[in-house]
Structure formats: C-alpha cells, structure tokens
Amino acid sequence: MANAGACDGRRSAAGMGVYELVRSEDAAGPALDLEAGRCGPPPTAKASPAAPRQQRLVSLDVFRGITVLLMIIVDDAGSFLPAMNHSPWEGVTIADFVMPFFLFIVGVALALAYKRVPDKLDATRKATLRALKLFCVGLVLQGGFFHGVRSLTFGVDITQIRLMGILQRIAIAYLVTALCQIWLKGDDDVDSGLDLIKRYRYQLLAGLLITITYMVLLYGTYVPDWEYRISGPGSTEKTFTVKCGVRGDSGPGCNAVGMIDRKILGIQHLYGRPVYARSQVLIKSRACIMLIRHLHSVCINSSLL
C-alpha cells in the first residue's frame, strides 16, 4: 500500500511540477521506474544458463599419466637397465611402447574433440597452428639446441640440426588425423558395428591408402650402395661404404625408409647415432669386408709374383 500511495502521489505531483520519491525498505509492492515514468514490479534479472562443464575421460587421463611416468623411467633408467632401454632394431622392449601410447592418446583425444565440428575452417586453422607449435617445440628439444655440460657451444648449426624428432613426427601424425576427422567424418547415426564402419569409411580409406603406399615404398624401392662419414678421435673422419643393392630389405642400413630420409632431409639432419653406425653386426661385417679385401689384394700380389 505504501508503494501504491507513493505512485499515486507522484502522479498528482507530476502535474504540479513537483517530484517527490518516497521509498520504504521493508515495503513489498510495485517498484518505481523513474526512467519510464511508471510503476511496476521490479525487473527480474534473467538467470544466464550455466556453461556446461566439460567432462573429461578419466581413463584417458590415467593412461596419459602412466605413459608419462613410463617415459621418465625409460629416460632415467634405460642407460643401465637393458629391459628399460629401446631395442636397437629388431625386437621390442617396454621402452618401445612409449611413442605408440602417446599416438594412441592423441587419436582418442581427437575423436572426442572433433565429435561435433560447427566450423570446419576454424577447426582446421587451430589444428594447423597446434601442429606447428608442437613441431617447433620438437625442434628446440631435439634439434640440437641443448648440449652436454662438456660440449657447450654458442648457437646451433643449422646445417646439422635434427629435423625429424619424436615430437615432430607426432605433430605430423596429429595434423593428418585431425584433418581426416574434421573433413572426412560422416554424419550417419551409429546403431551397430556396420554403421560405425559407414560413418568412418573415408578415414578407413585414407588409412588404407597410407598403409599401402608405405608398404609399396618399403618393399618395392631399390636401395643402392651409399656412404657415410664418422668423425673419429682427433677430428679425423672415417668413410664407410654400405653395400646394399637390394629391394625390400628391412635392416638398419639398407631399408627404403632410411634412403628416402637421406635423400629428402639429408643425412646431416638425421639422428646423430644411427643403428647402422653402432651395431655390432655391422661392425663385424665391415671388418669381414676389410679382411676379404685385404686377402684378395694379397692373393693378387702373390699371383703377380
């Protein structure tokens, strides 16, 4: 009643040119709207809908933590525990599962992140930037920017920088998978296993084409003989010749993947301690080749005498 009276009093005073505001703190009634010049109920603020809280896949987070822990153990204990070190070439140890585990985590995270893509161009731009950032971090961490305590130098030799490390490869795999998930995923409803295959048929086709291309290059490319140099004590370089001339070899020295890396990236931009340079089998084979050559020259000289 107090507020109603105040409203009536204001109306009558407005005609006389007098404005008087009467407000009671404990009065419950229509409030005065001074700007609109009318009485009415107090405006109620619309409750803004709470942003949906993003739920995380706990199992994936736990698996990521286990993988990071395994990586730390491998880096610290791999030097004195053979079971925790990487396999030189053939075979597998627990350390060889670290990178595949990370790739698995990336794939699952991409499937969840790009489940619904309202703007494909914007999603492509963000995925490309994220891949470039990861690639640059890999260049800094594994490209030669960090040196040992006893081999400190100023700057980095760009002609010797390692271009393709672990993070760089993960960045490329991430970008390819993200583009497939953004642009190739279907909108079919999934009610059975066949529907799942139909929805991801283009991703499966892309993976099949990549696998076939890799297998054709690996087992169909001819690998000729090639040479490499190793700096020995006193800054002396030793040149070694790797005898290949084969197709489909999966060894460390004569596989097609290594040849393509050497041709495209250059051997100076690859890993500094490759398997073919520190393998006992290859060292023995080089010693046998040198012995055979020596015996052959001895036989030739003796026949001439």
**127 neighbors 179 (Cβ within 8 angstroms):** yes
- Residues 291 and 177: their CA atoms lie apart, in Å, by 50
Same domain, 291 and 197: no
Least confident range from 95-99, 108-112, 298-302: namely 298-302
CA trace torsion 103, 104, 109, 115 (10° rounding): 110
**134 neighbors 173 (Cβ within 8 angstroms):** no
List pLDDT tens digits, range 190-226.
777 788 888 889 999 999 999 999 999 999 999 999 9
List pLDDT tens digits, range 31-87.
444 444 555 555 555 555 555 566 888 999 999 999 999 999 988 887 778 778 888
Distant-in-sequence, close-in-space partners of 261: CB < 8 Å, separation ≥ 6: 164, 270
User: SS in 3 state form for 113-128?
Assistant: HCCCCCCHHHHHHHHH
List pLDDT tens digits, range 225-265.
998 887 766 667 788 888 999 999 999 889 999 999 999 99
- Decide the pairing of beta strands 237-242 and 226-231: antiparallel
Same domain, 20 and 123: no
- Residues 69 and 84: their CA atoms lie apart, in Å, by 13
Given a cut of 90, whether residue 132 has pLDDT beyond it is: yes
Same domain, 296 and 237: yes
At which of 148, 171, 189 does a domain end? 189
pLDDT at residue 152 in the model: 54
Domain count, the chain: 4
Does the residue 261 lie in any domain?
A: yes
Same domain, 90 and 107: yes
**174 neighbors 137 (Cβ within 8 angstroms):** no
pTM: 0.69
Does the residue 51 lie in any domain?
A: no
Share of the chain above pLDDT 90, in %: 38
Same domain, 105 and 35: no
pLDDT at residue 194 in the model: 86
Does the residue 8 lie in any domain?
A: yes
Same domain, 92 and 69: yes
Amino acid found at 129: L
Same domain, 239 and 133: no
Does the residue 52 lie in any domain?
A: no
Handedness of CA 245, 249, 251, 255 (dihedral sign): positive
Domain of residue 18 covers 2-40
Does the residue 45 lie in any domain?
A: no
Same domain, 63 and 184: yes
Q: How far is Cα of residue 66 from the mean position of the Cα atoms in its chain?
A: 18
Does the residue 146 lie in any domain?
A: yes
Same domain, 63 and 182: yes
Q: Encoding tokens for residue 131?
A: 């891949």
List pLDDT tens digits, range 98-122.
999 999 999 999 999 998 899 999 9
